[in-house]
Amino acid sequence: MLEVAIDHDQPSAAVKLFFNRGKGFEQEASVYLPLKSGRITKRLFWMPFGVKTLRLDPLESEGQFTIRHLRFVWLTPWFAHDRLAQRLANMHYKWRNVPKRQVIKALKDQSVESGRSWRDIALETYEATFERFSVQRSYNDWIRGQAKPSKAELAATLDELTFKPLVSVLVPVYNPPLEHLKSCLDSVLGQAYPHWQLCIADDASTDPDVSALLADYVEQDRRVHVVTRAQNGHICAASNSALGLAEGEYIALLDHDDCLAQEALLEMVAALNQQPQARLLYSDEDKLDEGGQRFDPHFKPDWNPDLLLAQNYISHLGMYETALVKEVGGFREGFEGSQDHDLVLRVSAHLRPEQIVRVPKVLYHWRAAEGSTALNSGQKDYTSQAGLNAVADHVAIRHPGAKVEHGEFANTYRVRWPVPTPEPLVSLLVPTRDRVEILKPCVDAILSRTDYRNFELLILDNQSTCLKTLAYMDKVAEQDSRVRVLRWEQPFNYSAINNFGAQHANGDIIGLVNNDIEPINSDWLTEMVRQASRPEIGCVGAKLYYPNDTIQHAGVILGIGGVAGHAHKYFTRHAIGYFTRLHIAHNLSAVTAACLLVRKEIFNEVEGLNEERLAVAFNDVDFCLKVREAGYRNLWTPYAELYHHESISRGADDNAKKRARAAGEVAYMRKTWAEKLDNDPAYNPNLTLVHEDFSLR
């Protein structure tokens, strides 16, 4: 086991360990380990026989560093096998959620079948779980680049406020480290916004120094109020005790070892003045390591209902209208560990989208102490179960028939929405021209790897002349009653071809499918139908991979590259993504038409794809935005997985005419959607519009 912790000045860092068996150091004889910020990172490796010397490269690029911890630990075989199996079950897409003992057995079975050493197969698979990508800019650099408001600027902002509500900050307390509690309380006393009330509920702390410290703060400032509970009732009961002290129009939630930014309440109230309809506000957040350094910022999207069902992305800092919190019953005992998730689900159910306001600034610092949820949510399995119960309760009340289950990572959840009865007919539209070697695998895979049976497949033939292609289309239509071939005898226009197909479709749901798509999981269409059948949902997109198992499409982010880009492009198939975003269903502004489902009534309502101005590119983005403007939520799901060979049958824009057409489509999008392309509500203004990796702007 290699254990290493390094402080450095890089955006991201990884170490490499090289082995010399007498012939020098070579890349082939090395192990790679991306470092985690602020803590010890570990990985297994196999020490080859005959090693003479080791070399450790602490950074991959020039920079300054300090090695805080470096250790090599010999492991017993059973421990090494257990750790390897655990990581594969947690991190590798092939083994996720497979019991550890079955992982090792399967690897050994694979060894017998392939004739390769099982250890080689195991280590090769384990190696693939260490993601290789670089962050464009470090968070420390980003922080240094942020203009910190002066006292005069903060005072000016305060003077400009016409509405200055009292904000009651709720802090349930139980035996925290005193230095952390002191930092927490000092962060409230140091607020630039003076109209606050600190409501502390001491949940029968057994450390007498806690009550002494709280008494000292009551003496310091008349805005500090403390209630001491006679018996320990855990965080929900304690939070309700704190809520009972609240006199403010709004409450803000603060854990006893976390800290608020100096301008936190001022920024929240300023947002409230700009959007007075707000009854729930939330901000971005980051974490504090043991040394007090900030890391791991979470830059959040605007109101995203499906993301909230999948994880509590709202979290900190949350500020709620007090009357509404009391109306829904405050904090519910029995949901300890995910009480904030339960609260925000119940509160948001009473609100319109415009009453939920995001403040895209880091206003909350979450303490990542050893054993805390901030450091490792897996350390508190009960929080995942409490969150599951909260989501299941929310769904049961509002969406009968839907079922909730644990997601692939701690504190994430999957909702299985019901398929309507009777099952809706789906019309899959597949435009094509020649290239039977592309079309045949696509059509054959859809017909053979799709559990959902009630679909028709319309091959939209755009002037094919290849005899083999024509023969295949005739044959597959004759052999399978679900297949029809329609002829489009016009120059290539992706939008027009699909509009033509939609006119001839018999289905209640339209599926736009490229001719270079191959399903991976057989329930791909069932999952997409479940989502597309929801009344509030518009376009539904799938998770698409290149043939080398890297991400081609995980939703569309507006503004990247000027118009739009694919989220998480080129990340590996097993990558977690930005805050597990690659493994949870969530709302996005747009998804690709390489594999898109939408109800036919919505398709017709927005008058289909724009065939006059967007013949080739961006027609799907434009279509999704029209659907969004019509009042529907677009959604991307990771539970429909397909390969996408990326427009290989159409070719590249490699001549003057094609380049002119592409430039015209970009200009049309910029003119039509203007600032909406640069302000994607499903993204965050602090994240890049240059890259597709969620790095910092």
Q: Using one digit for the tens of pLDDT, what is the confidence trace for 58-79?
A: 987 788 899 999 999 999 999 9
- Averaged pLDDT of the chain: 91
pLDDT tens digits, residue range 538-552? 999 999 999 888 899
Question: Which residue in 639, 622, 616 sits closest to 556, CA to CA?
Answer: 622
If you average pLDDT over residues 671-692, what whole number do you get? 90
Q: What local confidence, expressed as pLDDT, does residue 11 receive? A: 62
pLDDT for 602 equals 98
Taking a C-beta distance cutoff of 8 angstroms, is the pair 356, 348 a contact? yes
Domains annotated for the chain, with CATH where assigned, are 2-127 (no CATH), 161-414 (3.90.550.10), 426-678 (3.90.550.10)
pLDDT band at 649 (very low <50, low <70, confident <90, very high): very low
Stretch 174-200: mean pLDDT = 97
Cis geometry, peptide bond prior to residue 288 (ω within 30 degrees of 0): no
Task: Among 224-228, 366-370, 573-577, 651-655, name the one with the lowest average pLDDT.
Answer: 651-655
Q: Say yes or no to pLDDT of 192 above 50.
A: yes
Q: What's the pLDDT at 650?
A: 45
Say what the pLDDT of residue 370 is. Answer: 61
Which tokens go with 228?
């001491």
User: Residue 651 pLDDT more than 50?
Assistant: no
Structure confidence at residue 38 (pLDDT): 64
Full-model pTM: 0.84
State the Cα–Cα distance between residues 673 and 684, nearest whole angstrom: 18
Helix (H) or strand (E) holding 599: strand 595-599
Give the DSSP letter of residue 190.
T
Which pLDDT belongs to residue 648? 43
- Per-residue model confidence (pLDDT) at position 483: 97
Q: Render 152-179 in DSSP notation, one character per residue.
A: HHHHHHHHH-S----EEEEEEESS--HH
Which whole number is the average pLDDT over 590-594? 96
pLDDT above 60 (res 653): no
Q: What is the mean pLDDT of residues 499-522?
A: 97
Length reported for the chain:
697
Q: Is 238 helix (H, G, I), strand (E, B) or coil?
A: helix
Task: Output 345-348 pairs: Cβ under 8 A, ≥24 positions apart.
Answer: 345/308, 345/390, 345/391, 345/393, 345/394, 346/394, 347/279, 347/280, 347/320, 348/280, 348/305, 348/308
Kindly state the tokens that stand for 596: 């898109």
Instruction: Flag the least confident range among 43-57, 158-172, 328-342.
Output: 43-57
